[in-house]
Amino acid sequence: MPLKSTKGLDDPKCDAILVTKSKTGNEEEMKDEARDALGQALQEEELEVDHVMGEPFIGNRCGLYFVAYPECLRVLEARDSAHKEIESTLKSEVTLLQGQVSTLTLSIPEYSRVRNRLISTFKRDKLNNATESDIDIIQEGNIMAHEGDAAVDALLYEGLNGRRDPSAFNELYGIHPADVVKISD
């Protein structure tokens, strides 16, 4: 089948590329050496036909390898672009998760005080063997449970399962929960 170039219907030519190695030296010596090396490659190596990006090329194996570089580069750049999008998405997710970890970290001490209060209250009311330390834990837990903590309480309004009554928070603390979260960050 004859080769047809897509460059133009009236142009029956295709690109030919021949690659070989030659010695280095001054410019004239390098040109002479390259002519000799290319002539030798043309005489000794098999020529092949390949289509790259819809265009026919003829050359030795090494030459055709170089012809494919732009297409390989395009594929790698597209892959790099896709990886950058994934990286951006992952960075956003990491930022979101870091915020959630910060939120949880803020609430751990307060929550543990309330949970400690439960156990100490059980020791006091059911086992009748509460220590002085248990009484202190109960009082500290009562403060956490019954007194306000705007920073932690504002976090109750975040997320899909967050509270939906910010007006109650605003009445209690005199500020919107979202504003408290901004200040806390």
Distances (CA, A) of 149 to 44, 109, 139, 182: 86, 12, 16, 15
Residues 18-23: contacts with CB within 8 Å, 24+ apart?
18/42, 18/59, 18/60, 18/63, 19/59, 19/60, 19/62, 19/63, 19/65, 19/66, 20/60, 20/62
Pairing mode, strands 48-52 and 15-17:
unpaired
Domain residue spans of the chain:
15-146, 147-184
For residue 133, what is the enclosing H or E element?
Answer: helix 132-146
| Token pair recorded at residue 46 | 């098999």
The single-letter code of the amino acid at 37 is A
Q: What pLDDT, on a 0 to 100 scale, did the predictor assign at position 9?
A: 54
pLDDT, averaged per 10 consecutive residues of the chain (185 residues), comes to: 47 82 87 89 88 86 86 94 97 91 79 88 96 95 85 87 94 95 83
126 half-sphere exposure, CB direction, 13 A CA radius: 6
Degrees to nearest 5, angle at CA 166 with 163 and 170: 140
Q: What pLDDT, on a 0 to 100 scale, did the predictor assign at position 2?
A: 41
Q: What pLDDT, on a 0 to 100 scale, did the predictor assign at position 89?
A: 97
Q: What pLDDT, on a 0 to 100 scale, did the predictor assign at position 122?
A: 95
* CB neighbours of residue 96 within 10 Å: 10
